[in-house]
Structure 1
Amino acid sequence: MSSNETHIEPAEAAQQVSATAARDRLLAEVLALPSLPGVYRYFDAQDQVLYVGKAKNLKKRVCSYFQKDHGGTRIGLMVAAIARLETTVVRTEAEALLLENNLIKALNPKFNILFRDDKSYPYLKLSAHAYPRVSYYRGAVERRHRYFGPFPNAWAVKESIQLIQKVFRLRSCEDTVFNHRSRPCLLYQIRRCSGPCVPEGQGPDYARDVRNAERFLLGETQEVMDGLQAQMMAYADALQFERAAEVRNQIGALTRVLQQQAVDENSATGRDRDVDILAVKVQGGRACVNLAMVRGGRHLGDRAYFPKHVEEATAVALDDAEEGEALADRASPERQVLEAFMAQHYLEAQVPGLIVVSEDVDEGLAEALGQQAGHKVTTQAQPRGQRRIWLEMCCKGAELALARLLSEQGSQQARTRALLDALELGVEEIDQFRIECFDISHTAGEATMASCVVFENHQMQSSQYRRYNIEGITGGDDYAAMRQVLTRRYSKLAEAAQLGTGRLPDIVLVDGGRGQVAMAREVFEELGLDLSLIIGVEKGEGRKVGLEELVFADGRPKVWLGRDSAALMLVAQIRDEAHRFAITGMRAKRASVRTGGSRLEDVAGIGPKKRAQLLQRFGGVRGVAAASVDEIASVKGISRELAEEIYRVLH
């Protein structure tokens, strides 16, 4: 064999042949796709979803990925990683849009723009009651009550409740309080409630105020004002001057509210009573979509959203555009981010009839949202008058929110780099630098809980946090607890890392000094892991903040980072988060143990119905625990044998 020839091992040659055959099968599958509308998904060799897309013509769209040479671009890396694909044929583009975004939210693909699924919008609620209560509400709605919103934040709801109390004097007390009052409360004295809890405040006037409050929230402010003026004149004509004065005061309060809200009465009619305003800003590889809400003609505030995978997704989307789209539109990250937000956000949210946007969006998107909502949805990109003012405010909010995020990220990246420099760690991809931190929490040995928090990509990754119930140790033995949690965490991960299917963190941080580090060292030696990963955070002299030192398991001398060190700030941030996560879990576990928790459900023969009967009879788990066997057996459906078993479990 000449010196210029390359020797290929048989195993490597077989692997190359297998990869080529797999690629050929994939291309054959692509060529066999139908020329119909649908949704496609790309998967890598580990069966992780890479990308979800929709197409009018599945065959044409998917073939375009494999007919071009994308080189070393992001889309080139994605295409090279595709091991298989799945497709779903649909009837219309609207169905394709809905399915695509449902899959994006469910699968979290690496090359799609992804917004956090936020169903936590608050509402203002008017209860179904003879004398309805106005209250803040968050959760699933019930048809028997009236709901107004959604509102962008809790502050907007509470401000609206204060306005309702000032102008219409509706009650805000709980029904249990309302039903047991014998005299009006302080809110009645300061004229924030008409006192329907007592006979003097009950009557048709309260129902009238409720109707006016509903109309005000729906944006019918002029109608409410006209009705109050007519009511005032009617009382005056009937010589009921005290009542007329009360209505006059209501009119004055409503006038002041409208002036404070700066509602443009000419624009707050028709569709402008309920409007969403969307502004997008893309900078520095990150994006912000700011959503402002107008409900009932009142500007309620805004909320900023920050999607993930912006750089990857916008690079792929350049090739994932419909044929015939303008080049400027295809190359606009702002439009891609905005359309992704609209599709994902309005899948399950209420869609107003008008959406004012900072970028032109696909007309088919508004049509699909309208079909989903059951009414026409219009988008407007270049508004005038009041809508333009709203859009300018929203754009400014997006710019400020993104600038704040980039500033925070820059600070966090600087902290990450400072820690790497302080520890002399050579990490190729700083964005992939990962720290896992452990802490132990208990109360005098009771309800021992261990926490593991994760820091990666310059931020805490709360979705990857884990808690561990520590059992089978002497109460209060923190070393044994640390041994148990590290063994449980890394025993399987060590095997996976050796096989190349798992990844160990770059640093394992333990909250403790030499003793905890020594215990972690024993676990890592038993598992055959690198001891240099372990770092302990030892309290300084007098346990003062800023004097902490880092202790190493591989024998390196202790390091003091300095009171004002950015590296110490990062270490303290991670350690404090591990402590918070451990102590909240410990408190919940301790409360569960002390009250019996769900042990009642663990008794064989106790289902939801019998458990509810027991809790209702004895007033809670503590009451059941305090009951005798005979008392438990007296509950309908509870036999003597079952009562004895319940007593045994609870004692």
Structure 2
Amino acid sequence: MRTPLELQIQTLPDNPGVYQYYDKDDKILYVGKAKNLRKRVSSYFNKLHESGRTNVMVRKIVSIKHIVVPTETDALLLENNLIKKLQPRYNILLKDDKTYPWICIKREPFSRIFTTRNMVKDGSEYFGPYTSFKTVHTLLDLIKELYQLRTCNYDLSRENINSGKYKVCLEYHIGNCKGPCEGHQALEDYQNNIDAIREILKGNFKESLKDFRTLMKNLASEMKFEEAQRIKDKIEVLENYQSRSTIVNPRISNVDVFSITSDESMGYVNFLQISHGSIIRSHTLEMKKKLEETDEELLELAVVELRERFKLLSKEIIVPFELDLGESVKVTVPQLGDKKQLLELSLRNAKFYRMDQLKQLQIVDPDRHTNRIMAQMQKDLRLSVEPRHIECFDNSNIQGTNPVAACVVFKDGKPSKKDYRHFNIKTVEGPNDFASMEEVVYRRYKRLLDEEQPLPQLIIIDGGKGQLSSALKSLDDLNLRGKIAIIGIAKRLEELFYPGDSIPLYLDKKSETLKVIQQLRNEAHRFGITHHRDKRSKSALTTSVESIPGIGEKTMITLIKHFKSVKRLSQATEKEISDVIGVSKAKKITDFYNPTK
């Protein structure tokens, strides 16, 4: 029997993120980052560590929480924030004076651009934070090479420039600045450059990369390979550059983010707390439905509960749809931008939490997991009973040869391979999928009726309306119409067709019902193709062997069983063949396939 901690580890996602270890008193022990959460966390528990302190910590761990983020960089930034906020006992102590660098566009006439660790609330724009100084320096070098900007800290107000207070410096004379301090450059022209630089810092530097590549090629053609290599290094850094992080974003401060995902019985609400531009808390709340409550009803209740539980005082919340929470709270439903990305990050964590719970349920209580899927399939497919026994049919008719069909059987949502059946088409001449489907469906259920075997609750036909109509004819002939539910699935768009309904049903691409149906269809296709391939091989081998003088039917069957295909037989040595059928017959076969020898 697995412990709750083992279940948590086993069901962690293979995504970048941050993990948090808690002890029996729910006190945080450690915060860490990971490229792959499941692998990193598992590594703590599957070996003895050299550090005694680490072994002591591992023994104290009772529960694990995690937050999934888009990239490793975001995981590093979030880890940094949480360590500062939570001060876990086993983490290195991080002080607030050690922050990551930002690139600042100063709010002033003829804006300066520089790197800083401190953000001043004066209306300036900050981009980052950056976890790599190489990225920061490459960006600033790129900007310096593309645009002529001032580096002085003069107050370039219109009055100061007109009064002739300042004189141009060396940067002007060497061509790095256009001299706005003496009025040699208009403010509008300078600010147009700032607008272009702002796009670069946001990650929109397609044109700049194009210019860099042209420069690199020109330098290489002039045999200036060292300079070309330096440009190439900058291109590589910029191509991997992450323009900004939603994990740490000074443009979004002191707001709470709520998202929801749900199934037929539970709702899962994730909450992210944003303070001073950084995520400082994530929590997912489970809500058991009593009636068929909507996501709007569940989320409204969850927001009130979580704000009260965590004493949240923010004046703005970000949610996926409009909620009525009174006039004291601003409700934002973002459509674009950083707030939309934060909402998507929250929803991603809610979905991962839901999947984790379902995985744990599947391990701990497989019967309950099966019951849930069966109930969901009954609801999604509009069936009168749960589809505990499902059969799926597929025709295999490649290039019109050796037509066969396959029937695969799922019981309680899982393959029942002992019940799989192959069919060789007997009554249909030539390639005719519709007639073949009619034949195999009739034969299958005629036999089940004759042998008084249990019938399925659902039949799935791999094909569109035509295949479904053919199968229905057989059910009519057997007086089974209406006694067994039957649907067809079209391959291209995963359309589900019902008898007598011209409008197909489309299921959510991520729904478990569709996944079970796709698994059935794929298994029927695999099973049918395997049989078809075997039949073609045996047919080809039989035809080939029959044409060899002195080889009779009995020898032919022996060769079929042993070599499986004509190719293998033709490539076999005389010794290999003689070991199966004797020396004299083996020589006849090798002479037939290798007449030149």
Give the TM-score normalised by structure 2. Answer: 0.31
Structure with greater Cα Rg: 2
Give the TM-score normalised by structure 1. Answer: 0.29
